[in-house]
Amino acid sequence: MKYGYALLVASLLFSATAAPAQKMVHSERSMYREVLVYEEDGERCMCFTRQCRIGRQSCINLADPRRFALNYTRMMMGGTLFMGPAPKRILIVGLGGGSIPTALRELLPEAQIDVVEIDPAVTRVAKQFFGFKDGPKMQVFEVDGRVYVKRALREGVKYDAILLDAFDHEYIPEHLLTREFLTEVKSLLSPTGVLVGNTFSSSKLYDHESTTYAAVFGRFFNLKAANRVIVARPAGLPSDAQLRAKALEYELALRSYGVDAPGVLPLFNSTADWDPKARVLTDQYSPANLLNR
């Protein structure tokens, strides 16, 4: 079954309010946050706030766990279409329930996938309630994402794709939003590597985030449907013809995950829709907790 463009836009990543039918199946407090698991309408979701009032971090369809339940996961998988023909190493910052790394492991069994998750409680919950499995080709590093990136730079590691999907109970941690951090991430990419970042489309930080990404990567794609996914490639963005060719190449493989690759194409937009005068976020200026209120 394919998802058309209208359905893709209509599917919301985050629910503003919780329905009474929500059932909590797990709750634990880590040193960073509460990690909660709710079930509702045939879905199981990980949340960092009671009744998911700030949003859902990860969800699975209980009847078909392979099928992506959240819109942003489909858009992020769309962004990974622009890796090279045989990606050898992928970095994912932020585990959540592990839907994306699990899908990438199935699609790219020869690739080494490194997942960075600061909170051991999230890793435990992903394994217990969301079917996530690590192994020799899927390693989880329980460390701050910025620390991991700096270590990888010192070791000379290169990645064919880097996915940024780290959130706390409010938003992306501010030290993972700055020009310096994105410059470090860019330095980890292979010559044809791609960066895929999950952010919000309605955040008060939108202009600042956009100018910061543009300062590091130049033009990038915005995929927007409730939230937004940023796709950047230091080697330059693919043409429309290349986009269509890649989407057709991966259409069948992605269909079982609920991703309509050609249907995602209308979301790829590189037009700047932000205030170009917005101040770039830096390690010295990154008051994300204040700007995002």
> Which residues on adjacent β-strands are paired with residue 40?
43
- State the catalytic residue, choosing from 165, 168, 260, 273: 165
Asked if 95 and 140 count as a contact pair (C-beta separation under 8 A), the reply is yes
Q: Tell me, what's the pLDDT at 292?
A: 65
Q: Tell me, what's the pLDDT at 69?
A: 93
- Using the 8-state DSSP alphabet, how is residue 155 labeled? H
- Using the 8-state DSSP alphabet, how is residue 68 labeled? B
Residue 109, CA distances (Å) to 59, 80, 102 in order:
23, 15, 10
Q: Which domains does the chain have, with CATH numbers?
A: 5-61 (no CATH), 71-291 (3.40.50.150)
Q: Tell me, what's the pLDDT at 179?
A: 97
Tokens 């959130």 map to which residue? 167
Dihedral sign of CA atoms 39, 73, 144, 286 in order: negative
Report d(CA 172, CA 54) in Å as an integer: 13
Let me know if 240 is a catalytic residue: no
Tokens 């996938």 map to which residue? 113
Asked if 175 and 143 count as a contact pair (C-beta separation under 8 A), the reply is no
Burial of 95-130, coded b for 16+ CB within 10 Å and e otherwise, reads bbbbbbbbbbbebbeebbbbbbbbbebbbebbbebb
Kindly report the number of other CB atoms within 10 A of residue 20's CB atom: 6
Q: Tell me, what's the pLDDT at 241?
A: 92
Report d(CA 51, CA 110) in Å as an integer: 39
pLDDT averaged per 10 residues, the chain (length 293): 36 38 93 94 94 86 94 90 86 97 95 97 97 96 98 97 91 94 98 94 89 97 90 92 90 92 92 95 81 64
Asked if 198 and 166 count as a contact pair (C-beta separation under 8 A), the reply is no
